[in-house]
Amino acid sequence: MLFKDIVGHQVIKQKLIAIINSERISHAQLFLGKEGSGNLAMALAYVQYLYCLNKTENDACGTCSSCVKVSKLVHPDIHFVFPVATNEKVKKDPVSNNFIESWRASFLENPYMSLEEWQEIAETGNKQLLISSKESAEILKTLSLKTYEAPYKTMIIWYPEKMNAASANKLLKILEEPPQKTLFLLVAADVEELLPTIISRVQILKINAVDENELTQYAMEKYQIDAQKAKDIALMANGSVNELKQLLNQMDNSTYFREMFIQMMRSAFVANVPGLIDWTDEMAKIGREKQKQFLNYALHLVRESLMMNYGSNAVGKKTSQEAQFLDKFAPFVHGANCLDIIALFDEAAYHIERNGNPKPIFLDVALKLTKLLRVKQPVLE
């Protein structure tokens, strides 16, 4: 990871470079930043710069033997610790090393990944991700290894707030008597969830949300979109590179979502059960992220329908293709059923979010819609 590949944060980058060049490197640093801020990427860029055999004033070289290994996350002196849980393959006492292959692939694919995305990749279902005391024992074992190539051994701990009490206390002991030539880089999102005694042992580097202008620039370059669109999305993304990516994906998906919504409503309206089962099968296949996005999209169309029905067309935010469909569909959403329809999608989103099984969830939505769409709007005498 090179500094130049991290969006924004010029001041922090300069500060980190200065720390390394001053050779007053703290043995424990906390990279504190919200999801999507790039705190994990920054910790890695920091080590890459530190280890680089040919560093320049502003960045690591990216090509020396050390840089090559760091950028693939296979440098023998960098160790990763992150929250895990059991899954189909790891049935007992899960530790980071059991998951290191998927962890590497996942970070290389998206250095801004969220904990939620990691959970999906690790296939741990809805179990709580943890850094257990078994992991602390692994940390101690790793610390006893010799350093292979670099001047320092580095331990990157992602989401130390997921340590249970026993493992946090073990980490504290280590930080109190730091082993020689070892760096601890804690990458956290919520300082409140860390032991105050741990916080007092680390140097804190605050990584803020990414500046809106820099995010706009990034969106234009990386995704080849025009300035206005990039600005709109950067505004919605709240300084998170991850959020920005998700919003862009969502836009790509909106045609597909519209078609799936129309298919669902048409089948539900005529109570075409085989059609609804086919639709459910398709929905079950698209993955949790897209399922959540679809449900959000469905809520958006239901709201738009209501607005059309009650004459507030002007405030709506629908595209022209959506408008065509909604002209016909909107009359079926009204005061007598709208709350139930909204609750139906909300509830499905709640269960999908908590890793519920998508097939029964979507089938339930589809079948309940067949009833709800038949509710007649009461006519006032």
User: How many distinct helices (H) and strands (E) make up the chain?
Assistant: 16, 5
Burial of 303 (0-12, 13-18, 19+ CB in 10 A): middle
- Scanning 64-72, 186-194, 213-221, 257-265 for contacts with Zn ion by CB under 5 A, the matching segment is 64-72
Place of tokens 């809520």: 299
First-to-final CA distance of the chain: 69
CB of 60 to Zn ion, least distance (A): 5
Under rule CB under 5 A, residue 61 binds Zn ion: yes
Q: Are 80 and 99 in contact (CB under 8 A)?
A: no
Q: Please identify, using beta-carbon distances, which residue of 3 and 118 lies nearer to Zn ion.
A: 3
- Using alpha carbons, select from 184, 230, 361 the residue that is nearest to residue 288: 361
Q: Please identify, using beta-carbon distances, which residue of 75 and 318 lies nearer to Zn ion.
A: 75
Under rule CB under 5 A, residue 67 binds Zn ion: yes
Q: Which of 28, 40, 50, 60 binds Zn ion (CB under 5 A)?
A: 60
Burial of 224 (0-12, 13-18, 19+ CB in 10 A): exposed
Cβ-Cβ contacts under 8 Å for 6 (sequence gap 6 or more): 13, 38, 41, 42, 45, 111
Under rule CB under 5 A, residue 342 binds Zn ion: no
Q: How far apart are CA 102 and CA 345, in angstroms?
A: 32
CB of 105 to Zn ion, least distance (A): 23
CB of 117 to Zn ion, least distance (A): 29
Q: Are 114 and 150 in contact (CB under 8 A)?
A: no
CB of 52 to Zn ion, least distance (A): 3
Kindly list the distances between the CA atom of residue 44 and the CA atoms of 5, 13, 64, 86, 174, in Å, as whole numbers in the listed order.
Answer: 11, 12, 16, 26, 21
- Scanning 51-59, 98-106, 145-153, 361-369 for contacts with Zn ion by CB under 5 A, the matching segment is 51-59
Q: Are 111 and 41 in contact (CB under 8 A)?
A: yes
Q: Please identify, using beta-carbon distances, which residue of 52 and 306 lies nearer to Zn ion.
A: 52
Per the structure block, which two tokens stand in for 13?
Answer: 């980058």
Site string for Zn ion, 88-127 (x = CB under 5 A): ----------------------------------------
CB of 151 to Zn ion, least distance (A): 14
- Scanning 49-57, 183-191, 223-231, 250-258 for contacts with Zn ion by CB under 5 A, the matching segment is 49-57
Q: Could you give the angle at the alpha carbon of 230 between the alpha carbons of 225 and 233, nearest 5°?
A: 125
Site for Zn ion in 230-259 (CB under 5 A): none
CB of 48 to Zn ion, least distance (A): 7
CB of 21 to Zn ion, least distance (A): 15
Q: Which of 64, 100, 143, 375 binds Zn ion (CB under 5 A)?
A: 64
Site string for Zn ion, 2-41 (x = CB under 5 A): ----------------------------------------
Binding site for Zn ion (CB under 5 A): 52, 54, 60-61, 64, 67
